[in-house]
Amino acid sequence: MNWLSSSSGVVLTAYHPSGKDQVAGDSHAKGGDEATSSRRYGQYTMNPESSTKLSERPPFDRSSSQDSLDEVSMEAYWTELENIKRSTENCQEGQEAIVVKEPDEGELEEEWLKEAGLSNLFGESADDSQESIVFLSTLTRTQAAAVQKRVETVSQTLRKKSKQYHIPDVRDIFAQQREAQEKSPDDSDLRSVRTNENEDQGKDDQPSSGAVDNKEPIPRVPEDIPASETDINLEVSFAEQAVNQKELSKERMQKTRGNDASLPSFRLPKDKTGTTRIGDLAPQDMKKVCYLSLIELTALYDVLGVELKQQKAVKIKTRDSGLFGIPLTILLEQDQRKVPGTRIPLIFQKLISCIEEGSLETEGLLRIPGAAMRVKNLCQELEAKFYEGTFNWESVKQHDAASLLKLFLRELPQPLLSTEYLKAFQAVQNLPTKKEQLQALNLLVILLPDANRDTLKALLEFLQRVIDNKEKNKMTAVNVAMVMAPNLFMCHALGLKSSEHREFEMAAGTANTMHLLIRYQKLLWTIPKFIVNQVRKHNTAHQKKERRAMKKLLKKMAYDREKHEKQDRAANGADVPQGVIRVQAPHLSKVSMAIQLTEELKASDVLARFLSQESGVAQTLKKGEVFLYEIGGNIGERCLDDDTYMKDLYHLNPNAEWVIKSKPV
């Protein structure tokens, strides 16, 4: 589709989902109003004088993303677009889209290196690149190739611009990396982060040698079993898996017709060392996860031949108070003054509650728009009365609340999926298989800013509750995806032009991406194990680097350290025997608990023993209020899920401390 401005009106044009021109004698068009008639042809006309002839537009073949959409479901998408346009005319008169100037490739790649935590490979800080060298040593072969490609582009661009500061040669960077690895006296610490489950995965998780043109064959990943349930392998780099499966991707492409049953029932296999979810790691480790996720996402897109370019955030003038059209971060700061610890905008929460209180069984929920003028008036009234607590929610009709919810998402100055990664979300449609699309979405969710990610999670959970009532409200996952996609993917701040053919492909693709986000949302907030292992390796390598730098000082302090360790052991009562862990709860109890490790002991069992104590604060606590944490060793801090097998995790991180505490808000 394409918005065409003229003095006589605005025209939204699009091809009909069938990919063929419709004739004027179409029986569907007879007897209907002009807007409906135009829509049947695939052309939305806001002013009949501005219409164009469909016969001049050549038909085109369906894309793979279009194969998963039927004509009826696409009709809901175009109708929503028309509703958005009408709403925009009423609520945002005179607003113009901001056309983004595309930065050159060198600037984009330089920004990419900064986002990946590798800014000190070039520029004024290039002489202090040792930290980046340690980080590079943890990368897989495909990840190293992605980094090398960007470093080469930046180096070439800087040379063309005759920059005066140091420009390293990419060969020098990876040569330093190899040299650092060769100097390492032993890699036992690095090997310790492997689990029994992924030892036989071969070299996929091993640090890259830096020689990205290495001809050694990549170990084969077992092919997916052609069944209704498909495992998502989180132990091996997604990009490495893509290399293995690339030749088979066309044969294995899963084409769907848009209904729930046609999408595979992906699942995550149980991991004995525990599943790590977003929010389980300390900030310093989460930062490394984001660096690695960006590199992995780029490597995956590179392997699959899909272009991935980040979009620079557009600086637009925004209000610093209010509800609609306010940046999420400012809105949350405003809300947190009212309700400390708020992670999701209060107005967003209240609109969802208002819709649900009106019953999720209402037919056409989210699809049928509220009255435009009434929604505009409600918007203005909310701005004036929401924080005062004087707004009358009982008078808000359910469809009006749904329209306000969608308006809130559209009016965000920066899109909920973020300006930087909106194009990457759109490009998901171009990945060949549903599994690879899901892997990319997993990495993209990790990369979102906290406020965006938390709000997206609340939205997807709400949409799933709507879908759970589809027998009554007639809103299947496909219907909901069609209605919501334009509200998340059409950003008024990005006035990017494209052909009608391309616009239609984007419509079909973004609707499919929205469908995947809803359907697989429980999998998307998981941090892949191979990335957590890379964080462990980086921490171990960094510790080894620090130990070597302080070797003389440590020798000098050895006596004092041993003395203090003996005192600490005495304070704990005795040395901890082999096969026993000591669990502490410093905020809840002064006494630590010694627990014998067994093959079947889980984190939930440790918590149960602590909570079953007959005295102290533990007696008043309930399950879900406190959690067992793995702290130190090769990880900063990690909250354990109930199904973590403690003996397996102990072997993975023998130097960790085990602490019971509540999760930070």
Interval 125-140: pLDDT, tens: 555 567 777 888 889 9
CB atoms within 10 A of CB 368: 15
Max avg pLDDT among 77-86, 125-134, 549-558, 572-581: 77-86
pLDDT tier, 8 (very low <50, low <70, confident <90, very high otherwise): very low
What is the three-class DSSP state of 562?
A: helix
Q: Which two tokens stand for residue 64?
A: 């793979």
Residue 91 near residue 410 (C-beta atoms within 8 A): no
Question: What tens digit of pLDDT does each residue of 611-625 get?
Answer: 887 556 666 677 778
Sequence-distant (6+) residues with CB within 8 A of 519 are 260, 263, 477
Q: To which residue do tokens 């494209």 refer?
A: 498
CA distances from 133 to 16, 519, 636 (A): 53, 39, 20
Q: Which two tokens stand for residue 552?
A: 């003389």
pLDDT tier, 315 (very low <50, low <70, confident <90, very high otherwise): low
Considering the domain architecture, whether residues 587 and 521 belong to the same structural domain is answered as: no
Max avg pLDDT among 198-212, 315-329, 382-396: 382-396
pLDDT at position 42 is 35
Considering the domain architecture, whether residues 513 and 587 belong to the same structural domain is answered as: no
* CA atoms within 13 Å, Cβ hemisphere of 29: 15
Q: What is the number of domains present in the chain?
A: 2
Considering the domain architecture, whether residues 347 and 491 belong to the same structural domain is answered as: yes
Considering the domain architecture, whether residues 522 and 623 belong to the same structural domain is answered as: no
| % of the chain beyond a pLDDT of 70 | 63
Task: Please indicate whether residue 140 or residue 90 has the higher confidence score (pLDDT).
Answer: 140
Considering the domain architecture, whether residues 333 and 393 belong to the same structural domain is answered as: yes
Task: Please indicate whether residue 185 or residue 486 has the higher confidence score (pLDDT).
Answer: 486
pLDDT at position 141 is 92
pLDDT at position 311 is 72
> Is 513 part of any domain?
yes
> Is 400 part of any domain?
yes
Q: To which residue do tokens 């401390």 refer?
A: 657
Q: What is the mean pLDDT of residues 270-278?
A: 94
Boundaries of domain holding 659: 578-664
Considering the domain architecture, whether residues 625 and 508 belong to the same structural domain is answered as: no
pLDDT tier, 157 (very low <50, low <70, confident <90, very high otherwise): confident
Task: Please indicate whether residue 295 or residue 60 has the higher confidence score (pLDDT).
Answer: 295
Considering the domain architecture, whether residues 518 and 399 belong to the same structural domain is answered as: yes
pLDDT tier, 417 (very low <50, low <70, confident <90, very high otherwise): very high
Question: Of 465, 493, 526, which residue constitutes the final position of a domain?
Answer: 526
pLDDT at position 46 is 34
Q: What is the mean pLDDT of residues 175-194?
A: 48
User: Which range, of 143-152, 272-281, 484-493, averages the lowest pLDDT?
Assistant: 484-493
Task: Please indicate whether residue 635 or residue 509 has the higher confidence score (pLDDT).
Answer: 635
Residue 166 confidence (pLDDT) above 60: no
Residue 489 confidence (pLDDT) above 50: yes
pLDDT at position 425 is 94
Considering the domain architecture, whether residues 389 and 516 belong to the same structural domain is answered as: yes
Residue 7 confidence (pLDDT) above 70: no
Question: Of 510, 526, 542, which residue constitutes the final position of a domain?
Answer: 526
pLDDT at position 468 is 97
Question: What tens digit of pLDDT does each residue of 335-370 get?
Answer: 999 999 999 999 999 999 999 999 999 999 999 999
User: Which range, of 195-209, 223-237, 399-413, averages the lowest pLDDT?
Assistant: 195-209
Query: Does the CA dihedral 646-647-648-651 come out positive or negative?
Result: positive
Exposure class string for 391-425: b at 16+ Cβ within 10 A, else e:
beeeebebbbbbbbbbbbbbbbbbbbbbbbbbbbb
> Is 259 part of any domain?
no
Question: Of 496, 526, 556, which residue constitutes the final position of a domain?
Answer: 526
Residue 655 confidence (pLDDT) above 70: yes
Q: What is the mean pLDDT of residues 203-212?
A: 44
- β-strand pairing of 229-231 with 265-267: parallel
Considering the domain architecture, whether residues 404 and 485 belong to the same structural domain is answered as: yes
CATH number of the domain bearing residue 496: 1.10.555.10
> Is 636 part of any domain?
yes
Question: What tens digit of pLDDT does each residue of 524-554 get?
Answer: 999 999 999 999 999 998 777 666 655 556 5
pLDDT at position 67 is 39
CATH number of the domain bearing residue 636: 3.10.20.90
What letter would DSSP give residue 161? T
For the chain, the average pLDDT equals: 75
> Is 541 part of any domain?
no
> Is 20 part of any domain?
no
Q: What is the mean pLDDT of residues 508-525?
A: 93
User: Which range, of 3-12, 160-169, 343-352, averages the lowest pLDDT?
Assistant: 3-12
Task: Please indicate whether residue 533 or residue 566 has the higher confidence score (pLDDT).
Answer: 533
Task: Please indicate whether residue 158 or residue 499 has the higher confidence score (pLDDT).
Answer: 158
> Is 427 part of any domain?
yes
pLDDT tier, 377 (very low <50, low <70, confident <90, very high otherwise): very high
pLDDT at position 579 is 84
Considering the domain architecture, whether residues 342 and 473 belong to the same structural domain is answered as: yes
Question: Greatest CA separation found in the chain?
Answer: 95
Sequence-distant (6+) residues with CB within 8 A of 361 are 469, 472, 473
In this structure, the dihedral spanned by the alpha carbons of residues 439, 443, 446 and 447, taken in order and rounded to 10 degrees, is: -150
Task: Please indicate whether residue 10 or residue 96 has the higher confidence score (pLDDT).
Answer: 96
Q: Which residues pair with 150 in a beta bridge?
A: none
> Is 334 part of any domain?
yes
What is the C-alpha R_g of the chain?
28
Residue 114 confidence (pLDDT) above 80: yes
pLDDT at position 378 is 95
pLDDT tier, 561 (very low <50, low <70, confident <90, very high otherwise): low
* CA atoms within 13 Å, Cβ hemisphere of 7: 0
What is the distance between the terminal CA atoms of the chain, rounded to a whole angstrom? 43
Considering the domain architecture, whether residues 453 and 339 belong to the same structural domain is answered as: yes
Q: What is the mean pLDDT of residues 52-60?
A: 35
Q: What is the mean pLDDT of residues 89-95?
A: 46
Euclidean distance between CA atoms 155 and 332, whole angstroms: 40
Euclidean distance between CA atoms 152 and 174, whole angstroms: 12
Considering the domain architecture, whether residues 489 and 634 belong to the same structural domain is answered as: no
pLDDT tier, 658 (very low <50, low <70, confident <90, very high otherwise): very high
